[in-house]
């Protein structure tokens, strides 16, 4: 419903112009923007927001692959990046193990940056 509302409101046209200006077709830029947006609004809404944009790209197949890779790996950045992370933290807490936000980020940030970089590298050269 949100995506359809955005399409009908004309905001998608604004996003298309912004995407062109930001060079969102570049795999590196798409990776970074997807990772950031996935952590702001979660990965599924982020992908839904990109859906109308990707269809306009010169290479939509590669863009979909970049979007899938980046939105998936982005969930590892912080505890809030994925529902699975929250479940693990709550299960650990129930077992007497506390995992704090900063403690998680000490592992999550470098792992996410490394996997996003490797994923981008592989997809940029396909």
pLDDT digits (tens, 9 = 90+) for 65-97: 999 999 999 999 999 888 889 999 999 999 999
Three-class SS state of 3 = helix
Which percentage of the chain shows pLDDT scores above 90? 55
Going from the C-alpha of 22 to that of each of 34, 40, 95, 112, the distances in angstroms are 13, 18, 46, 23
Confidence of residue 2 (pLDDT cuts 50, 70, 90): low
| Range list of H helices, 10-100 | 11-21, 27-41, 43-54, 60-73, 83-94
Terminal Cα-to-Cα distance of the chain (whole angstroms): 34
Contact 45, 80 (CB under 8 A): no
| 111 φ/ψ angles, rounded to the nearest 5 degrees | -65, -45
pLDDT of res. 1: 62
Q: Is the dihedral of CA 17, 67, 79, 84 positive or negative?
A: positive
**pLDDT of 6 strictly over 90:** no
Closest-CA residue to 118 (of 82, 72, 87): 72
pLDDT of res. 69: 97
Domain positions in the chain are 2-124
Confidence of residue 16 (pLDDT cuts 50, 70, 90): low
State the average pLDDT for the chain. 88
**pLDDT of 4 strictly over 80:** no
Contact 29, 22 (CB under 8 A): yes
pLDDT of res. 99: 95
Q: What is the pLDDT of residues 30-50, one digit of tens each?
A: 999 999 888 888 888 888 888
């Amino acid at each position: 419903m949100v995506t359809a509302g955005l399409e009908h409101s004309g905001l998608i046209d604004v996003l298309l112009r912004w995407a062109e200006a930001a060079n969102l077709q570049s795999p590196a830029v798409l990776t970074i923007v997807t990772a950031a947006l996935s952590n702001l609004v979660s990965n599924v809404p982020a992908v839904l927001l990109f859906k109308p944009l990707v269809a306009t790209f010169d290479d939509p197949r590669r863009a979909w692959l970049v979007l899938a890779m980046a939105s998936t790996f982005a969930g590892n950045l912080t505890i809030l990046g994925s529902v699975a992370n929250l479940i693990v933290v709550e299960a650990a807490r129930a077992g007497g193990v506390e995992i704090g936000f900063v403690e998680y980020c000490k592992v999550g940030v470098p792992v996410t940056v490394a996997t996003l970089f490797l994923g981008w590298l592989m997809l940029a050269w396909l």
